[in-house]
């Protein structure tokens, strides 16, 4: 189950009706439309709120960081099909808005996950050959600076493959 909701954007003390979900619209949606078009009908692929059946979730790997939702969506699609993904309208959520630099880092992780899955689908190692350093330009005291951020979306194995989990959760 994937939640979606209206994402008003708080600007100063005012609440604008739309404008939230910038990473969704500028990174996740274009990537999903390009490489996983079956997922293009998701209202909010990065809502941050989801649930699932244990039998499926314990079979899926989990990415760390901001790539977790993208990985779960793609992996659910590939393993269980589009019919395994339902959407639920949660009406409205007001999130704190992050800086463009923070959103750029999020987008970079989402792109890493998508590239990994696209490569695997074609028998290629696209992500492993890609750059994992994000270079961001910042301004301090009127001067531009190049910041280097090492960002890697690590993949954790499915819980069902972890020996200690299997011992404590065997049916």
Percent of the chain predicted with pLDDT > 70: 93
Phi/psi at 154 (nearest 5 deg)?
A: -85, 145
Q: Which of 26-30, 126-130, 150-154 has the lowest mean pLDDT?
A: 126-130
* Dist CA 69 CA 50 (whole Å): 9
Predicted confidence at residue 144, as pLDDT, reads 95
51-55 average pLDDT score: 92
* Dist CA 109 CA 115 (whole Å): 10
Q: Which residue has the higher pLDDT, 75 or 102?
A: 75
**Hey, is 21 helix, strand or coil?**
coil
Q: Mean pLDDT, the chain, as a whole number?
A: 88
* Dist CA 63 CA 105 (whole Å): 15
Tell me the pLDDT band of 97, cut-offs 50, 70 and 90: confident
pLDDT at residue 149 is higher than 70: yes
Q: Are 93 and 5 in contact (CB under 8 A)?
A: yes
For the segment 18-37, what is each residue's pLDDT rounded down to a tens digit? 656 788 889 999 999 999 99
* Dist CA 23 CA 107 (whole Å): 6
Give pTM, 2 decimals: 0.85
CA atoms within 13 A on the CB side of 98: 11
pLDDT at residue 100 is higher than 90: no
* Dist CA 39 CA 70 (whole Å): 10
Enumerate domains of the chain plus CATH numbers: 2-169 (3.90.550.10)
* Dist CA 64 CA 20 (whole Å): 23
Q: Are 97 and 9 in contact (CB under 8 A)?
A: yes
* Dist CA 35 CA 44 (whole Å): 17
Tell me the pLDDT band of 5, cut-offs 50, 70 and 90: confident
pLDDT at residue 72 is higher than 70: yes
């Amino acid at each position: 189950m994937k939640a979606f909701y209206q994402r008003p954007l708080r600007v100063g003390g005012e609440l604008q009706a739309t404008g939230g979900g910038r990473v969704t619209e500028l990174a996740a949606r274009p990537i999903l439309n390009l490489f996983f078009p079956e997922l293009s009908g998701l209202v909010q692929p990065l809502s941050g709120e989801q649930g699932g059946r244990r039998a499926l979730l314990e079979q899926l790997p989990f990415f760390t960081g901001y790539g977790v939702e993208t990985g779960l969506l793609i992996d659910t699609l590939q393993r269980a099909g589009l019919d395994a993904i339902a959407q639920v309208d949660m009406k409205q959520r007001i999130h704190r808005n992050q800086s463009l630099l923070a959103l750029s880092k999020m987008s970079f992780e989402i792109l890493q996950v998508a590239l990994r899955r696209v490569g695997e689908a074609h028998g290629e190692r696209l992500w492993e050959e890609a750059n994992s350093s994000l270079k961001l330009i910042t301004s301090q005291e009127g001067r531009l600076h190049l910041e280097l951020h090492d960002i890697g979306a690590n993949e954790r194995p499915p819980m069902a493959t972890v020996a200690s989990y299997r011992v404590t959760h065997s049916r």
